[in-house]
A and B are shown apart, each in its own frame.
Chain A
Amino acid sequence: MPRPGFVLEVDRSTPPILTWHGEGFRLERLPAERSRVIYAPEPVAALDDPDQAVQDALLHPLGDSPPLPDLLRPGMRLTIAFDDISLPLPPMQKPDNRQRVIEAVLEMAAAAGVDDVVLICALALHRRMTEAELRHAVGDRVYDSFAPHGLLLQHDAEDPDGLVHLGQTDKGEDVEINKRAAESDLIVYVNINLVAMDGGHKSVATGLASYRSLRHHHNVKTMRHSRSFMDQEHSELHSSNWRMGRLIAAAGVKVFQIETTLNNDTFPKQMAFLQKREWEWSGRDRATYLATSKSLSRTPPKLARSIFQSIKAPHAMTGVYAGEVEAVHAATTAAVYEQQLVSVEGQTDVAIFGLPHVCPYNVNSIMNPILVMCMGLGYLFNLYRGKPIVRQGGVAILSHPTPWAFHPVHHPSYIDFFEEVLSETTDPIEIEKTYEERFATDEWYRHLYRTSHAYHGVHPFYMWYWGAHALEHLGDVIIVGGDPAAVRRLGFSPATTLTDALEMASDTVGRHPTISHFHCPPIMLADVS
């Protein structure tokens, strides 16, 4: 039986706590009697036979959906859409959940005599995946059967001939999605639900949407009214996607949703200490930590990045749910909560977030300064239900090298966002008003998004909006160990050590503040009372 999440009150006997720092980690001693460490629950049990579980889910769907075979018939148009490289994190060891599910769906389609089948990677405005990345996600067999025939596509949110406008919601939100998918007799959407925000109507309404559609919920107002976007009851992002999803259904687009959940077994065995509680480290764990830290300190950043990006997580499938979108998502969310929820009592003055090497937008890439902001203030800060773990006006301390470095192929518009926009203002509202449209319609970015492997021109704006709630909530943000110039460009304060950062934080929250250390990864969701 896996142990639930845990909040450790730090006292004088507490050992130093592991804190992620990009492609590395540090052991940090926290002030006794006023600090706490929030640990994730241990990995829940994996399914004994995931392939059988997939079969069962497809044959016994949730909600008012018939079993998948009953929806399949000769002559129909079937589109199988699937999540892109942003999920899961780190990428999982083979076979990927998408491969298991897609193979099962294709077998049923073949058995039903369905010939017109197209696979679409639901990129939204993310970068196109490479062949190797697609092969990892869907498996060689699927890739080799579809890609050479032009039947494995990547959604193009800028293809004027490849989109269809289905209407507007009662709130005036345009719903424009992939034409092939919309005009299919059935969309089967294959999800990996790493966090509670993933899946549901967001899969089609976001993953297969255009900029025209996405801008209705990927904006500052929505993000500030999503508290947090991991909590469906209090997420405007969720509400907007649900309005759009219902409009899609009302327009006659049939979606058979398949959602899979994973446990939080994040690191391979040789790095198991990374998800253990420090006082439970064995002699071997301590030795591994020392050896790893020592060698990483001598490893050039580029090589370290390459080593860390090669990590494949031993995530195991813990559940698979199929059928009608909302019924499926309710079951999935419960499973995600079971793995990730940690009860936390009250807020503290300061929260410490050690940022790991990867976020949804830098798989096989560089975590540039904008992604550092997004990872810290967009993702980790928002991993709460109820209230943030840090109080209004409190301080977030992020730990990351924050290099002034960008992947020129993946993040071209990020470079301009950093050089031009952030040198003028860091205010999300001002940024949205003054700069978004120009970046979103820039022909060069559009060309790179459509033909290369670049995130859409508007994507760095969304990263900044992702942190808008935190920016409004916090009194100060300090980054430990970052490139000072890059940190300042973000509008934050650089600190050399955690001790310095805590000293600096005292200007905002007073002497002897209470502190939460969010021991993530593994991913968890703080249920703050």
Chain B
Amino acid sequence: MRALKVERSLARFGAARVASGWRPGAGGKVGPLRLAEMDLPDLPGPDWVRLRPRLSGICGSDLATVDGRSSQWFEPIVTFPFVPGHEIVADTEDGRRVVVEPVLGCVVRGIDPPCPACAAGHAHRCERLTGGHLSPGLQTGFCAEVGGGWSAALVAHPAQLHDVPDDWSDEAAVLVEPTACGVHGALAGPPGDDQVAVVIGAGTLGLTVIAALSRLRPDITRIIAVAKHPVQKEMATALGATTIAAPGELRRAVRRATGSWILDSGQLTGGAPLVIDCVGSADSLADALAVAAPGATIVMVGMPGGVHVDLTPLWQREIRLAGAYAYGPEPLAGGRHSFAVATDLVADAGLERLLTITYPLDRHAEAIAHAATAGRRGAVKVAFDLRSEKRR
């Protein structure tokens, strides 16, 4: 079968890092990603099933990998060579259409008894990502044995599968996984009354966070979204943002919404009680710290790397910095799992519209470049279309 494969090649990672510094997404051409013929992955255990992907999205974490910008933190919890792609809508061999919950926790790895986190239903916090009968890998799409969505076939554990309603399009279904991440981020902040929330970034993650905040958090009455490009501004507004701010205009927008003052140094006296960073860069985290009120929570939904940022306000204003990775049971949604909540949200908010364009595997370099510059080019989500891929 054909698959896009990431190999461990320091030279290629280095080239990707250099090239992407000049042009985001350039790693798709010179980096570690290659279109290759591969054997169909073996089933790791008796319960496992083979999947034939229909669509598989390109995520920010995929782009970071392809462009050689991923943190070394991931080194021990991935296995090379791997096939990327963890936003997947696929067919099973017995005719089900499913979306994949890609986290490879204890249950999927056959570890019994599971670790405390998995036992509590928080597979995304699994402590055994290198154990069990699978090689290391935090998710499908980063583990050599299970494959990934950017291919004609992969394998999955039944616990990873969620059925897609019959009347759904594939285009809607492929948005469930990123929407689940957005749901998890939106529900990670503590509840309050008549709160202002700031969402930094209006790519797929930011937009799904906005959709989740506006529909699932009645305590959030105003959402300030930082959006750079026209399509992002338009989508953010359509999904529930009450104010759109250009990146350089955030502080004043938060000041206006919260009635705080600006000191001579430019810092706010108050700010927003909830800030959700969907970018994960040094700049976005600095912006988040600049607009977070004393006692506020900053939720990091966008995948960060090594960042240099002044944490003085975090200390002086007792700001809580919280990560929001993947999905799990959501206390603010009555304990429902993020995937279940996301499935409803995709339908309610019409998130199918976030998928802008699909590419075949042959045009992977174009697809990566398009995804890396999506906002600028009027796009949101870019995905691979595997529906015409042959599986031999």
Contacts and interface: CB of A to CB of B under 8 A. Distances in A.
B253 A419 contact: yes
B249 A444 contact: no
Contacts of A412: 262
Interface string A390-423: 0000000000000000000000100110011001
B29 to A, nearest CB: 32
A294 interface: no
Name which of A438, A443, A444 has the most chain B CB atoms within 10 A of its CB.
Answer: A444
A396 B158 CA distance: 69
Contact of A419 (B249, B259, B261): B249
Contacts of B255: 416, 444
B252 interface: yes
A381 B259 CA distance: 37
A26 interface: no
Interface string A439-475: 0001110010000000000000000000000000000
B262 A419 contact: no
> Size class of A's contact patch?
10 to 19
Nearest to B259: A443
A448 to B, nearest CB: 9
A416 B261 contact: no
A444 B255 CA distance: 9
A416 B259 CA distance: 13
A447 B261 contact: yes
Interface range on chain B (Cβ under 8 Å from partner): 10 to 19
Interface string B262-276: 100000000000000
Contact of B262 (A420, A423, A443, A444): A444
Nearest to B262: A444
Interface string B177-202: 00000000000000000000000000
Contacts of A438: 256
B347 interface: no
A438 B244 CA distance: 18
A415 B252 contact: yes
Interface in B249-294: 249, 252-253, 255-256, 259-262
A415 B259 CA distance: 15
Contacts of B243: 420
A416 B253 CA distance: 8
* Interface core residue of A419, A438, A447 (most chain B CB under 10 Å): A419
A22 B46 CA distance: 78
A452 to B, nearest CB: 10
A415 B253 CA distance: 10
B261 A420 contact: no
B361 to A, nearest CB: 39
A464 B348 CA distance: 41
Contacts of B262: 412, 444
B18 to A, nearest CB: 31
Max chain A C-beta neighbours (<10 A), residue from B244, B256, B262: B256
Contacts of B256: 416, 420, 438, 442
Q: Which of A412, A420, A438 has the most CB of B within 10 A?
A: A420
Contacts of B253: 419-420
Nearest to A444: B261
A447 B260 CA distance: 12
Contacts of A420: 243, 249, 252-253, 256
Contacts of B244: 423
A444 B260 CA distance: 7
B253 to A, nearest CB: 7
Contacts of B252: 415-416, 419-420
Q: Which 4 A-B pairs have the closest CB atoms?
A: A419-B249, A444-B261, A416-B252, A416-B256
Interface of A: 412, 415-416, 419-420, 423, 438, 442-444, 447
18 contacts: A416-B255, A419-B249, A419-B252, A419-B253, A420-B243, A420-B249, A420-B252, A420-B256, A423-B244, A423-B246, A442-B256, A442-B259, A443-B261, A444-B255, A444-B259, A444-B260, A444-B262, A447-B261
Given A419-B249, A419-B253, 16 more contacts: A415-B252, A416-B255, A419-B245, A419-B246, A420-B243, A420-B249, A420-B253, A423-B244, A423-B246, A442-B259, A443-B259, A444-B255, A444-B259, A444-B260, A444-B261, A444-B262
